[in-house]
Each structure stands twice: as C-alpha cells, then as structure tokens.
C-alpha cells in the first residue's frame, strides 16, 4: 500500500519487531486504510489483533494539537487515543519531547545502581568499576534524545554521577570529572557522545533504504543534532 508517511521517496507505513507493530499515517483516513488492510490480512491468515493493547498517538504539528480525533476502529472496537506510548522500551510523546524517556532511564539507573551498591559493598574498587560499567553505562536509547529540557537532562547526569560516588564510597561533593579520570571510567557526557557516534556510524553504513534517506539528508533534525554533538567534541579535544 502507498498510504502512509514518506521519508524522502520511500513510503514508511509500518514498523515491526517480533509481535510489536507500529502503523504510520499522515491522516486519519490513511490510518483507517492501513487498519482495514491489517484486518484483511489477519482474517486470511487466522490472526487476531489485541485491541486492548492497541493505541493511537497523534503527533503535534509544532504547537498545534488537534481538538478532535474521530473514533478509529480496529475489528469494530474503538482504539484509545493517548499522549504517550512506550515502544520497544522507548517512551514516545505527542509533542516529540524526550523528557519522559530521560526520566524513565533515570529511574532505571537509580534501581540498578542501588542494587549493585547494596550487594557488592565489600568488593574491591576494580570489581565495583566493572559492575558500574556493566550496569550503569548503557543509557538505553540515549542517542535518540534531541528535544529535552536542561532540568530532565541534568537530573539524569546527577543520578549517574551520584551512582558512581555511592558505589565507590566517595564524598557527595567530590569532583565528577576528577573521579571518573582517576577510575579510568567514562563520564556521563562521554557515554552520551559514544552512543551518538555508534548509532550514527550504523545509520550511515546501513543498507536499509529508510536509514539511507536519513543519512543523506542534512536537514534531518536528528542528523543535525548528532553532527553538532560530534563537532563540539572535536573542537573541545583540539
């Protein structure tokens, strides 16, 4: 089907991972066409969509929010319209801001850091540093954060720094940069930049047509943000 959103000249109307599916449409009528197509496919192949776990998220165009969204049906059941949804662990919001996903990661980091601090309090410094790198430096989907408030971003940065201080038994007000240098461990900013470089290199080397469209468009917001972050690192290191 050609109903859906376009990235360059490529029609992108569905994204799937295992049994998680996302339909992308520029309008309600286009979305309805996609849902009818899904219903037909499911009927032919003996499948059934779970309407209770299916939701509709309407992205805002700038500051404009639709005042009314007509009922959108799947298998004759109206789907719930929401302002946020979690897909593959990443929180998407109608205003395309990343504050909620950053807060999700901050809370997850707090749980992980408290766990290793409590269970491995008597281990050596080398063991603690290894555990910190394994459990606290993933910062899941951090390379996708491009639209956020300083408050949300700084809250995660402080959580990351305090997690290392707590695990290593360091004073609360000791220098963050100094303690990471002494432990030969990446700081918060270094982890963020490494994740950006890793994702950018994979996007540019990917044979996927959709990702190629993103990599070749210099007016793409996320690509602009990535290159800006990388350039700032290069200038700083010089």
- Between CA 26 and CA 33 the distance in angstroms is 12
Residues 65 and 143 occupy one common structural domain: no
Residues 55 and 134 occupy one common structural domain: no
Secondary structure percentages of the chain, helix, strand, coil, to 5: 55, 15, 35
pLDDT digits (tens, 9 = 90+) for 173-221: 899 989 999 999 999 999 999 999 999 888 888 888 888 877 777 777 8
Contact 147, 96 (CB under 8 A): yes
Residues 63 and 117 occupy one common structural domain: no
pLDDT digits (tens, 9 = 90+) for 45-91: 998 888 989 999 998 877 767 677 889 999 889 999 999 999 999 99
Residues 9 and 126 occupy one common structural domain: no
Question: Looking at the DSSP assignment, which residues form a beta bridge with residue 17?
Answer: 20
Residues 35 and 153 occupy one common structural domain: no
Secondary structure (3-state) at 187: coil
Domain that holds residue 149: 99-237
Given 37, 64, 93, which residue is the final one in a domain?
93
- Between CA 96 and CA 84 the distance in angstroms is 9
Res. 233 pLDDT band, cuts 50 70 90: low
Contact 131, 155 (CB under 8 A): no
Residues 110 and 39 occupy one common structural domain: no
Residues 163 and 227 occupy one common structural domain: yes
State the average pLDDT for the chain. 88
- Between CA 186 and CA 189 the distance in angstroms is 8
- Between CA 105 and CA 113 the distance in angstroms is 12
Q: Is the pLDDT of residue 235 over 70?
A: no
Residues 88 and 113 occupy one common structural domain: no
Residues found in the chain = 238
The token pair at 186 is 């990446």
For the chain, how many structural domains are there in total? 2
Residues 135 and 221 occupy one common structural domain: yes
Res. 234 pLDDT band, cuts 50 70 90: very low
Residues 28 and 88 occupy one common structural domain: yes
Q: Is the pLDDT of residue 7 over 70?
A: yes
Is 98 exposed, middle or buried (CB count within 10 Å of its CB: 0-12, 13-18, 19+)? buried
Given 93, 108, 142, which residue is the final one in a domain?
93
- Whole-angstrom Cα Rg for the chain: 22
- Between CA 34 and CA 80 the distance in angstroms is 17
Given 43, 65, 93, which residue is the final one in a domain?
93
Q: Is the pLDDT of residue 236 over 70?
A: no
pLDDT digits (tens, 9 = 90+) for 83-113: 999 999 999 999 999 999 999 999 999 999 9
Residues 121 and 72 occupy one common structural domain: no
For strands 55-57 and 80-82, give the pairing: parallel
Residues 104 and 47 occupy one common structural domain: no
């Amino acid at each position: 089907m050609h109903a859906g959103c376009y990235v360059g000249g490529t029609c992108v109307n569905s994204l799937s991972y295992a049994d998680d599916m996302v339909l992308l449409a520029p309008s309600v009528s286009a979305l309805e066409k996609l849902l009818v197509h899904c219903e037909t496919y499911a009927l032919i192949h003996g499948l059934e969509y779970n309407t209770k776990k299916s939701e509709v998220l309407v992205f805002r165009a700038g500051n404009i929010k639709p005042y009314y969204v007509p009922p959108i049906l799947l298998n004759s059941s109206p789907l719930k319209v929401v302002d946020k949804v979690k897909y593959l662990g990443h929180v998407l919001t109608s205003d395309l801001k990343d504050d909620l996903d950053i807060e999700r990661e901050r809370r997850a980091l707090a749980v992980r850091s408290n766990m290793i601090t409590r269970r491995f309090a008597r281990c050596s410094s080398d063991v603690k540093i290894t555990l910190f790198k394994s459990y606290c430096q993933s910062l899941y989907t951090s390379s996708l954060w491009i639209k956020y408030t300083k408050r949300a971003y700084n809250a995660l940065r402080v959580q990351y720094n305090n997690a290392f201080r707590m695990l290593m038994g360091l004073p609360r007000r000791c220098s963050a940069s100094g303690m990471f240098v002494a432990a030969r461990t990446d700081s918060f900013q270094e982890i963020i930049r490494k994740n950006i470089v890793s994702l950018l290199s994979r996007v540019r080397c990917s044979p996927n047509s959709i990702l190629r469209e993103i990599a070749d468009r210099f007016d793409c917001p996320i690509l602009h943000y990535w290159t800006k972050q990388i350039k700032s690192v290069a200038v700083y290191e010089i």
